[in-house]
């Protein structure tokens, strides 16, 4: 591999708190190693359209504490085509970029893998998604902050639920994975947690609520992952209301508030470590790999493994939630 002199960095897909910390780390690690760093705005779409701007050390000052991403993000249908990727390649070559660091989730890594298979510019990935569903890393950027956001919201909802003897269904993000629902449910003492990994939970929920109703619990908090097979919090609440007419049932959808906010200290540190490691990986002639965290240590996982293998929640741990909710 030719000596790398200029690298690009982009964020793609859904934003996650801590992405700015990763951009900062990539930029300053690159500059420290005498590389030019180019910010690519609006993800792969910006790569296709040549939305490039050189980043200096001062360009990333005062961003480590900010949510979102200063480089903006977008989903690109054009990049999914060979014509779009070829156009992006031509823009990168014209700019003289030798390598690219991409920050994002499964879709972002999929695009990077496809591009790397077709063209000779090495890509290294950084896992950035609040869902924490990327194989090859214990944590993804944004997950810890999203959890704290959810926990704070649920704590406030429990206050009003207790005051009015209400049953609250709270929907959190996690279309395909229940990591947010599981950990926030444990942290908040939820009475039940419904996740995509376990089928048929609604019937069991009815039996559980019957026992809780007989014990006259002052409040019940049910956490629902948005990808639950039963159709989400509103649909489940409607079904339960038919069987428990004496319950005052309410639904709260936390939605995109989970993506925003100041990143936690853990996310800032993790993102900084990932950004530094990504540049080091490129300088070590690595490509088509994602940096990650394995038992507190920086690790590397090929794009193929990160994308093709599923990171699954250990459903046996759900017994803990049931035991602690009695």
**Is 5 within 8 Å of 89 (Cβ atoms)?**
no
The torsion angles phi and psi of 264, rounded to 5 degrees, stand at -70, 165
Question: How far is residue 244 CA from its own chain's centroid?
Answer: 35
Q: Give yes or no: 131 in active site.
A: yes
Q: In degrees, to the nearest 5, what angle opens at C-alpha 141 toward C-alphas 135 and 145?
A: 125
Q: How far apart are CA 47 and CA 63, in angstroms?
A: 22
How far is Cα 92 from Cα 28, in angstroms, rounded to an integer? 21
Task: Tell me how many degrees the CA angle 60-64-66 measures, rounded to the nearest 5.
Answer: 105
Spacing of C-alpha 80 from chain mean position: 21
> Quick check: 289 and 307 in contact, CB under 8 A?
no
Which residue, 179, 235, 177, is CA-closest to 202? 235
Q: Which of 15, 98, 131, 144 is catalytic?
A: 131
167 in Cβ contact with 249 (< 8 Å): yes
Q: Which residues are catalytic?
A: 131
């Amino acid at each position: 591999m030719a000596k790398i002199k200029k690298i690009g960095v982009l964020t793609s897909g859904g934003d996650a708190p801590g992405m700015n910390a990763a951009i900062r780390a990539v930029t300053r690690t690159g500059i420290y190693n005498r590389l030019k760093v180019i910010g690519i705005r609006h993800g792969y779409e910006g790569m296709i359209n040549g939305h490039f701007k050189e980043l200096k050390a001062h360009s990333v000052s005062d961003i480590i504490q900010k949510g979102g991403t200063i480089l903006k993000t977008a989903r690109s249908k054009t990049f999914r085509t060979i014509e779009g990727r070829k156009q992006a390649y031509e823009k990168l070559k014209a700019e003289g970029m030798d390598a690219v660091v991409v920050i994002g989730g499964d879709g972002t890594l999929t695009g990077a893998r496809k591009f790397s298979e077709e063209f000779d510019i090495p890509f290294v990935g950084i896992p950035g998604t609040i869902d924490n569903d990327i194989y090859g890393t214990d944590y993804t950027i944004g997950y810890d902050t999203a959890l704290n956001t959810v926990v704070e919201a649920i704590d406030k909802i429990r206050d009003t639920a207790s005051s009015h003897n209400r049953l609250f269904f709270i929907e959190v993000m996690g279309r395909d994975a229940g990591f947010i629902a599981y950990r926030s449910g444990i942290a908040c003492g939820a009475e039940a947690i419904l996740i995509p990994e376990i089928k048929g939970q609604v019937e069991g929920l009815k039996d559980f609520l019957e026992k809780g109703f007989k014990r006259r619990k002052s409040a019940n908090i049910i956490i629902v992952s948005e990808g639950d097979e039963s159709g989400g919090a509103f649909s489940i609440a409607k079904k339960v209301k038919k069987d428990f007419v004496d319950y005052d049932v309410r639904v709260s959808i936390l939605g995109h508030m989970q993506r925003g906010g100041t990143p936690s200290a853990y996310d800032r540190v993790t993102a900084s470590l990932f950004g530094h490691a990504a540049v080091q990986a490129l300088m070590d002639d690595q490509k088509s790999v994602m940096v990650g965290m394995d038992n507190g240590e920086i690790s590397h996982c090929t794009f193929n493994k990160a994308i093709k293998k599923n990171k699954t929640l250990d459903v046996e741990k759900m017994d803990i939630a049931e035991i602690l909710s009695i």
